[in-house]
Amino acid sequence: MAFVTDKEVLKPGLIIFRRADVDHRNWYCRVKLPKADRYKTISLKTSDIGVARHLANEQEVEVRAMLKHDIPVFNHPFRAVAKEYLATQEARAKRGEISKERPKKLKAVLEGALEDYVGSVQVHRIGDELWASYPAWRRENGAGRNTRNGVREISAEKAAELDARDAAGRARAMEKRGFTKLRPSTPAPAESRTVAFISDATIRFEMSIFGAVMNYAIKKRYVPASQRFDDRPKLKTMRRDEFTLEEYRHLHTVARSWVKDAIRPSSTWYRTVAYNFILIMCNTGMRPSEAKNLRWRDITTGTDREGRELVVLFVQGKGKSRKLVAPKSVGDYFERIREATREYRRQAAEADGKEAREVEFRPEDRVFTTVTGEPAKSLYQAMIEDLLITAKLREGASGVPRSTYCFRHTYATFRLAEGVDVYFLAEQMGTSVKMIEEHYGHVNTVKHADLVLQGMGGWDPGAAVDEAKVAGAAKAARTPRAKTRTAEPSGKLRRRKS
């Protein structure tokens, strides 16, 4: 190394030297690690050669002691370890072991909140105190999206910082979409700004990534195993609002009129597909990520033990795949999407004065697409939001705007209310029994109301059950038998009288 001067060998594997590329005259030592072609360089912070020799010998003893007790010798800042960890996850995504979106989420957290919190901290200095203090720091320094978590006042400086961050994020998003000129935004006056607290769900997710990086550091022997943080601070379990049965029926009623009110062929197509997308999600329990990946070849039919027809979906998401079953009516919803596409293409051809071609739905084509046939990345978010606002169902009982994930929660709630075994429901939804119990335990109170209210005045469970049976039988008698459609393995649908 050209910058090494005044080199002196104290013993094999231990030297002291000065550096020609710095202004001071302090000494450094370099210790060779036993049985490895690696060296530890340490600044001795003295210009006295006698003191430097003594300190160099002490450093060699310390390095050997660290190796003996399995203590990492080299220091690594958290951001460097996080970068290594992110590279491993990107490699996993390329191999198909995890979803392609997963590394993007990891990167946003690692280069965002965690970089601000511990980016420059050496991983071996991250202990229980830093780990346990993260939720409080995040609430104090972050800005959430929903006011249900509470709000706090912020300083003018912090308000300006948040506005600048939002503007930068908006600019990046618009640049990706090809826009060069941005519509100017007017931030709220900095002196009167309040922001929502970060939700506990967000903090829990970020801490899971924080812990994953520390576990990676342990695996790479950057830190000892004692720095594994498996215990998470107690945080509130947040769940998205599902639709009640009355709300679900009301949504049906409004949606039919909403589709008819579309004024353009493309609007009719989008509204029809969005409406049937909701029906499919509420009757299958798919995750939005699984719906994005669904292709026509993934839709087949089958029968249960009693010979009743059903729809079988092969879904993929979160790096896993499974088969789920759905009632045969779900096949009708898929067919409506096909019919809407055929009708839109026919109208578009007529408008151009051309003869309409037969629409081909190839097995490898995505089911949920844009009107031009491209994969639907947002899954009709704007359309669904408009429908929920029209139906006055945009916000749930907790005051939080509903998202596409609410349809999955609605499915789970309805199934549990009907008495489906939690084990089979977990298998169907691709999750664990524990997650079902944690997020949907509130359903049991209503399902087992007869046991909860047993012995209370004015409560006659026997009479209630009999009335329910009578009401159900009367409704069934009034309901005419209808024609239904079911999906064939080839993807085509056939009529069948039930």
pLDDT digits (tens, 9 = 90+) for 29-48: 999 988 778 888 889 999 99
Secondary structure letter of residue 244 according to DSSP: -
- Asked if pLDDT for residue 376 goes beyond 80, the answer is yes
- Find the DSSP H helices in 95-155: 101-110, 113-118, 128-141
Pairing of the two strands 4-11 and 14-19: antiparallel
pLDDT of residue 171: 72
Confidence band (pLDDT; 50, 70, 90) for 434?
confident
Mean pLDDT for 140-145 is: 73
Question: What does pTM read for this prediction?
Answer: 0.60
- Asked if pLDDT for residue 167 goes beyond 90, the answer is no
Mean pLDDT for 288-300 is: 95
Contact predicate 141/209, CB 8 Å: no
Q: How many of the other CB atoms lie within 10 Å of CB of 94? A: 11
Torsion region of 436: left, alpha or beta (phi above 0 gives left; psi -120 to 50 gives alpha): alpha
pLDDT of residue 231: 72
Confidence band (pLDDT; 50, 70, 90) for 227?
confident
pLDDT of residue 480: 46
pLDDT of residue 296: 97
Mean pLDDT for 202-225 is: 90
pLDDT tens digits, 62-102: 888 878 876 667 778 999 999 999 999 999 999 888 888 89
**Tally of residues, the chain:** 498
* Range scoring the smallest mean pLDDT among 16-25, 120-129, 333-342, 475-484: 475-484
- The more confident residue out of 197 and 283 is 283
Structure tokens at 101: 């979106």
